[in-house]
Amino acid sequence: MTLALPWPDLSLRALRLWQRNWDVLRNTWVEETVWPFVEPLVTLVALGLGLGRIVQLPGDESYLEFVAPGLLAIFPMWAATSEAGWSSYFRLESERIFDAVMATPLSVDDITTGEVLWAATRGLISTCFILVVIAAFGTVASPLALLVPLAAVPACIFFAAVSLCNTAVARSVRSLNYFFVLYITPQFWLSGAWFPLDGLPEWAQRLSWWVPSAHAAELFRGLVRGGLEWGHLGHLAWLAVAALFFYALALALMRWRLVR
């Protein structure tokens, strides 16, 4: 497989594909908004109020206050990767929507960009839902939390792009399971959303630097708590650079998949 990385053939027409997916969501919004709202709510009640009664953290922070900002890294990750994974695969192979779009003035790079932007949008929608939920539980300690959706942009683009990279090389819909089991699920547990990473062995803490959701969790925790430090800019920069890299890779892989 040969991958070419010329300058992207992009135009504002990429937003038309985003708009197409948005129009579909508007017609199915009741079904589509149940999961991003109810699941984090149930998780927060079960872990924060249930398990939190028997979990003690150093200092005065409750387990509910610790878990709440971690949800901002976990569930938007699932939303963005699922949209650029299963949903994009069905649009690619089963529904043949991309083939139809290629008959229009949209380029392959427009299609890829539209898909990444749309999957990232689904992640941002989930972020806003969760922010409302954790605010209702009184776990937001700073007005800086209003910056969470803005800070979530590079994280959502990253997860959308890396998931679309996998979709571009998937041989069947079942192949997507390897990505979610071997890449996304470990991030669910090693993000620092459910327990402090400083309690892990040193080698595991070093390994966590390569876990994107860990950077997102630390960034959101700083915004929700109001304790921003220079290190949080490092987390933001890590996510932005990784998002740009995998977006470029998604462009190359989708060219290979759609033009071969």
Alpha-carbon distance of 39 to 45, in angstroms, equals 10
Domain that holds residue 223: 14-259
- pLDDT for the residue 2: 47
A 10 A CB-CB count for 178 gives 11
Report if residue 242 sits inside a domain: yes
- pLDDT for the residue 208: 84
Alpha carbon separation from 257 to 18, 39, 92, 171 (Å, rounded): 20, 34, 10, 11
Q: How many domains does the chain have?
A: 1
Burial (Cβ within 10 Å: 0-12, 13-18, ≥19) of residue 204: exposed
More confident position, 163 or 94: 163
Cα end-to-end span (Å), the chain: 10
Band of the pLDDT at 81, cuts 50, 70, 90?
A: very high
CB 1 within 8 A of CB 256: yes
Alpha-carbon distance of 154 to 80, in angstroms, equals 12
Report if residue 90 sits inside a domain: yes
Report if residue 6 sits inside a domain: no
Report if residue 8 sits inside a domain: no
Q: Where are the beta strands (DSSP E) in the chain?
A: none
Report if residue 230 sits inside a domain: yes
Q: Is the pLDDT of residue 5 over 60?
A: no
Q: What is the pLDDT of residues 37-49, one digit of tens each?
A: 788 888 888 877 7
Nearest residue to 118 (alpha-carbon basis) of 82, 149, 72, 172:
82
Report if residue 131 sits inside a domain: yes
Secondary structure tally for the chain: helices H, strands E: 12, 0
- pLDDT for the residue 27: 85
Q: Is the pLDDT of residue 88 over 60?
A: yes
Burial (Cβ within 10 Å: 0-12, 13-18, ≥19) of residue 207: middle
pTM: 0.90
Report if residue 9 sits inside a domain: no
> Which has the minimum average pLDDT: 47-61, 106-120, 222-236?
47-61
- Give the pLDDT mean for 130-157: 92
Nearest residue to 123 (alpha-carbon basis) of 164, 179, 171:
164
Report if residue 60 sits inside a domain: yes
